[in-house]
Amino acid sequence: MTTSPDVHHQPERRRFATTVEGHEAELEYRIEGGFMDITHVTVPDAIGGRGIASRLTLAAFEQARTDGLNVRPSCPYAAAWAERHPEFNQLLG
């Protein structure tokens, strides 16, 4: 049985990260004018296909909501994720 990896917000580095089987996955963002701009999501091939990118993106959207920010998903993955999760439409700007 596998468990979901813990996602850690590292605001000083403007990223969310997790480590699975010794491989680090991350979501990078920048804050501009009331927006969290998700610029890049990286999951190494060795741990791909496990929903890790989705968990990173969910964590970013939830943090943006908590911080009162809108989200700009500049990264193609994050943009596609947002389309599949209309419950976060109110954060898109």
What domain range includes position 31?
8-91
pLDDT value, residue 14 = 98
Residues 53-86 have pLDDT tens digits of: 999 999 999 999 999 999 999 999 999 999 999 9
pLDDT value, residue 1 = 35
Query: How many independent structural domains does the chain possess?
Result: 1
Residues 1-50 have pLDDT tens digits of: 345 679 999 999 999 999 999 999 999 999 999 999 999 999 999 999 99
Asked whether the beta carbons of 93 and 57 are under 8 A apart, the reply is: no
Q: Is residue 3 part of a domain?
A: no
pLDDT value, residue 15 = 98
Report which of 75, 65, 70, 84 is spatially closest to residue 27, judged by C-alpha positions: 75
Q: Is residue 2 part of a domain?
A: no
DSSP codes joined into one string, 15-37: EEEEEETTEEEEEEEEEETTEEE
